[in-house]
Structure 1
């Protein structure tokens, strides 16, 4: 019995991605994204803590 007769073939191994060098622009961009993500999370926390605006009635 041979192992893979008529079955699926193994996919070829992909070469590992090279760790690309990040320049100052990339570092600044990533930092900016992190800060924006923090702000969004804080706003979400504030929004969920409050009661709905359209409450009240007759």
Structure 2
């Protein structure tokens, strides 16, 4: 169940990455990413997310 939720969150993040041409969506994405990290501090996907989105 939790893995399915994380997969759906990753899909949403990919959609937002496609929309990140505009600065507004970039700011919204950064806020959502910080909220996600604070909501799931012990999650394994935090490291993979920081690795995946670190180059942006």
User: Could you state the TM-score of these two structures normalised by the residue count of structure 1?
Assistant: 0.35
Q: Which has the higher helix share?
A: 2
User: Could you state the TM-score of these two structures normalised by the residue count of structure 2?
Assistant: 0.36
Q: Which has the higher contact order (CA 8 A, sep 6+)?
A: 2
